[in-house]
Structure formats: C-alpha cells, structure tokens
C-alpha cells in the first residue's frame, strides 16, 4: 500500500497565492505517488467568528478550487472535516494528553489571540489538537504544508509519540513536507509578515479570485526598496526577493534564472511582468473553478463519497483508540 499524505486548508476566506504555492500546488504532484487525503478544515474555521451562510459558500468554493488546481477526486479522497465526526472525537481523547501550557505557547495562538482579542475561545487554543486528530486518524506519513504550520506539526508528532508510549504503538508519527521555495510567501505591503487571506489590507495579498487587472495593480503597488536592481537578497531586499520567488514559482524557473532575466530591468517593468505571469497562471484555474461551481451536484457528490471513504478509515482508528484508553465497547 502507498504511504498516506494528508493536508487541509481552512475555508476562512478566499485562498491567496501563498496558500496555492505553499500548499495546494504541491498536493497536485503527490497524488500519483501516494494515497492522498485532502480535507476542508471547516471546524478549524469556527475558531474565528463566521457568518454561517458565507462559511457554507466558501466550503464549496474551496472544494471547487482544489479540483480546479488539479486535485483529481478520482485519485484522492476529498472531504469536509465536519462530515467525519471522528475528528472531533479523537480531539477529545488527545485533549486529555495535552497540557494547557504547551497550547498557550503556540505562535499562532498568541498571534490570533491578539488579533481577535474579543474572542479568545477554547477552540482557538485547541486548534493544534484538532489538527493533530486530522492527521493521526489516517495513519498519515507526510503532511504537505507551508512553513507557518511547522510548529503545529511538531505538536501532532509529540501527541502521537506520547499516546504510543502511554498506551501502545497506535499512531504513525507524521513528517511535514515543506517546499524549498514558496513555503512562506510574504505580504506585498509588508514583506516582513506572511501573506494571509485574512489581511485587512487588500493590497497585501493576491487572492486566487483576483482579476488580471487587480493582480497587476497590486504587484505594481508592492513595497520594494530604494535601490533599483532586481537581485535576490532576503535580508536587505525582502520585497524584491519575495516578488522574485513568486515569479520563479509561477514560471517554473529558478531564482538565478529570474535574476539573469531581469538584469538591468527596472522595478516598474519587473513588477508588471510578475503580475502578468501570475494572472496568466490563475486564468485557467479561475475558469475551471467557475465551471465547477455551476455544477453543485457534482461537488456534493465528491464530498459525499469523500466523507464515506474517510469515515471508514477514521472509524477504525478511533475504535482502536477508544479500546486502548479503556472505554468499554458494546
């Protein structure tokens, strides 16, 4: 049997090109070699206040985006986290071997508690445990994510090892798969912070739904520096280096090829070309996504069969776990 790959994105907004190159794009290349399971982390999304109708719409949109980006529902299991109740149940068991202190130390928890100070809920603190449950239910070997999720992966590994040593070998200890290039796409307005779909400054990110005009306009406004040479140096030229990384990823070139291509070219032309390259790649994805959203029956059929396949595996794992911790079986 092939090794299991599991990953997910939250339907918390329209995904950005950061989510695309840090995660979804890399999933496409894994589906022939591994048994891939890709989820829509809708339960995670509830840790920040949502408008229910919007959350429902975004869940379907995210599924359409997965498929439009090249994730094949015939090869992979695609499902929404809330459709497989074992995720919430395993979270409860894992909660009993997780300390409050280790959750309070998580970088994302600290950031989000600051950002949503009016709603520091238990779910926000428990976020990494639910993520560990997602991963551990399926015997996952590899988890393809962006660099910001590394700390959460560490927790998933720790919990797997803790459970295995407290009871008996049960969980596979997962490994993160973090891309060499594109693991941390930075904001176009503040190259010291990560591009995020929930950024209040709309010029900071390129969403997967942006029109070619919006894309070029946002790149034209991207923060660079007072120098005028297009060369890669993340320390002294973080803005330009971020744009070069994006261009390399969207044209399948290396950073040194990009450097050679723009030798002697000014920032204005460079930014225009980065915008055009991104817009060109997104155009067919946007078209496929729109077509898919016109066929809701098809999208629901993917979710239904995905939930059935995922439930089958998840149920077996949870049953084992319940038995090992001493819950009476009937």
Contact positions toward ligand LTN, by CB under 6 A?
Answer: 6-10, 41, 44, 131, 134-135, 143, 145, 149, 152
- Asked if 283 is an active-site residue, the reply is no
Map the chain to HEC letters.
CCCEEEEEECCCCCCEHHHHHHHHHHHHCCCCCCEEEEEECHHHHCCCCCCHHHHHHHHHHHHHHHHHCCCCCCCCEEEEHHHCCHHHHHHHHHHCCCCHHHHHCCHHHHHHHHHCHHHCCHHHHHHHHHHHHHHHCCCCCEEECCHHHHHHHHHHHHHHHHHHHHCCCCCCCCEEECCCCCCCCECCCCCCCECCCCCCCHHHCCECCCCHHHHHHHHHCCCCCCCCCCCCCCCCCHHHHHHHHHHHHHHCCCHHHHHHHCCCCCHHHHHHHHHHHHHHHHHHHHHHHHHHHCCHHHHHHHHHHHHHHHHHHHHHHHHHHHHHHCCCCC
The residue whose Cβ lies closest to ligand ATP is 22
List the catalytic residue out of 25, 112, 218, 271.
112
Nearer to ligand ATP, 16 or 59 (CB): 16
Catalytic residue among 25, 150, 197, 323: 197
- Binding residues among 106-165 for ligand ATP as defined by CB under 6 A: 145-146, 148-149
**Is 3 marked active-site?**
no
Stretch that binds ligand ATP, among 4-12, 99-107, 257-265, 273-281 (CB under 6 A): 4-12
Within residues 174-233, the interface with ligand ATP by CB under 6 A covers: 183-185, 194-198
Of the ranges 12-20, 56-64, 118-126, 258-266, which one interacts with ligand ATP (CB under 6 A)? 12-20
Q: Which residues bind ligand ATP (CB under 6 A)?
A: 9-10, 12-13, 16, 18-19, 22-23, 145-146, 148-149, 183-185, 194-198
Q: Which residues are catalytic?
A: 112, 194, 197
């Amino acid at each position: 049997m092939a090794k299991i790959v599991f990953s997910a994105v939250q339907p918390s907004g329209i995904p950005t090109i950061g989510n695309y190159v840090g995660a979804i794009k890399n999933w496409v290349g894994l589906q022939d070699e591994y048994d891939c399971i890709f989820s829509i982390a809708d339960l995670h999304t509830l840790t920040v206040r949502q408008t229910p109708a919007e959350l429902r719409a975004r869940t379907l949109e995210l599924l359409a985006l997965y498929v439009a980006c090249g994730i094949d529902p015939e090869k992979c299991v695609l499902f929404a986290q809330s459709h497989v109740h074992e995720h919430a149940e395993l979270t409860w068991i894992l909660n009993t071997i997780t300390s409050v202190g280790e959750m309070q130390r998580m970088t994302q928890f600290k950031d989000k508690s600051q950002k949503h100070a009016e709603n520091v809920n238990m779910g926000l603190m428990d976020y990494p445990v639910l993520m560990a449950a997602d991963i551990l239910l399926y015997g996952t070997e590899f988890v393809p994510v962006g660099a910001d999720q590394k700390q959460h992966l560490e927790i998933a590994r720790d919990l797997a090892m803790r459970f295995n040593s407290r009871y008996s070998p049960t969980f596979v200890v997962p490994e993160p798969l973090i891309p060499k290039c594109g693991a941390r796409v930075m904001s176009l307005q503040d190259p010291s912070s990560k591009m995020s779909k929930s950024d209040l400054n709309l010029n900071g990110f390129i969403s997967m739904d942006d029109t070619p005009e919006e894309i070029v306009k946002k790149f034209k406004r991207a923060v660079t520096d007072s120098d005028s040479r297009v060369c890669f140096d993340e320390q002294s030229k973080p803005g330009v280096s971020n744009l070069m990384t994006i261009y390399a990823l969207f044209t399948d070139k290396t950073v040194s090829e990009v450097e050679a291509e723009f030798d002697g070219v000014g920032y204005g032309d460079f930014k225009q070309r980065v915008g055009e390259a991104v817009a060109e790649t997104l155009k067919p994805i946007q078209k496929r996504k729109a077509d898919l959203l016109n066929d809701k029956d098809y999208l629901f059929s993917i979710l239904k069969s995905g939930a059935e396949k995922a439930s089958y595996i998840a149920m077996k794992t949870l049953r084992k776990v319940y038995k090992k911790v001493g819950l009476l079986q009937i």
